Amino acid sequence: MRFCRRLAKRAEEQLSLPIEAKGQLVRVGCSVGVAVANPEETPQDLLNRADAAMYQVKQARSRGR
């Protein structure tokens, strides 16, 4: 799980780098939620947990964590 979190953080950092578009620097951001699949859950269950994890990241970031 720690590897997944590091990979998610790296993806967030790379996607947050400024991009030049039509001569102007544009900044975008993203939040990545990590969830590990359990054999008994459905794909929708996994997606719901990953979505919830993403919103936890967003909330923590807005609180300055």
Q: What backbone phi and psi angles, to 5 degrees, belong to 31? A: -130, 135
CA distances (Å), origin 40, targets 23, 33, 54: 50, 20, 22
pTM tops 0.75, yes or no:
no
Domain ranges of the chain: 2-62
- Whether 54 shows a pLDDT value over 80: the answer reads yes
pLDDT band at 61 (very low <50, low <70, confident <90, very high): confident
